Amino acid sequence: MNKLNLSPEDIVNQQFDVAFKGYDPAVVDSFLDTVLEDYDIMEANVQELLDMIASLKEQVKELSEENKDLKARRSAFDLSNTTTYSSVDVLKRLSRLEEMMYNNK
């Protein structure tokens, strides 16, 4: 990130040479006060955005870990479901065979 050339203190402490037919010092001071206020607001906004970025990066990290965990659980669940379906199928077939055997007697 690029560093700013001026700090709020630099703006406040800036002195201008007064030359014959130069700028009105009161107007320059008033303008610099406005610039300083905007600069302070901008600095606060930048800091708020940097804090927000840090928070969002932390959320991304947490959600990525949670996503990884959920994918691992899903894989384990998919494997166990396949086994469960096979076991259910075997039980159904055994039940049908038993019915057939008892009905034939």
User: Of 10 and 58, which is predicted with more confidence?
Assistant: 58
Question: pLDDT tens, 48-70?
Answer: 999 999 999 999 999 999 999 98
Query: Which residue is listed with tokens 């065979």?
Result: 97
52 contacts 19 by C-beta, under 8 angstroms: no
Which residues, 6+ apart, have CB-to-CB distance to 32 below 8 Å?
Answer: 11, 12, 14
Query: Which residue is listed with tokens 């010092």?
Result: 25
Distance CA 52, CA 40 (A): 18
Distance CA 73, CA 7 (A): 52
The pLDDT value recorded for residue 4 is: 73
- Please report, rounded to a whole number, the percentage of residues in the chain having pLDDT higher than 70: 90
Query: Which residue is listed with tokens 């406005």?
Result: 34
pTM of the model: 0.54
pLDDT-derived band at 84 (thresholds 50, 70, 90) equals: low
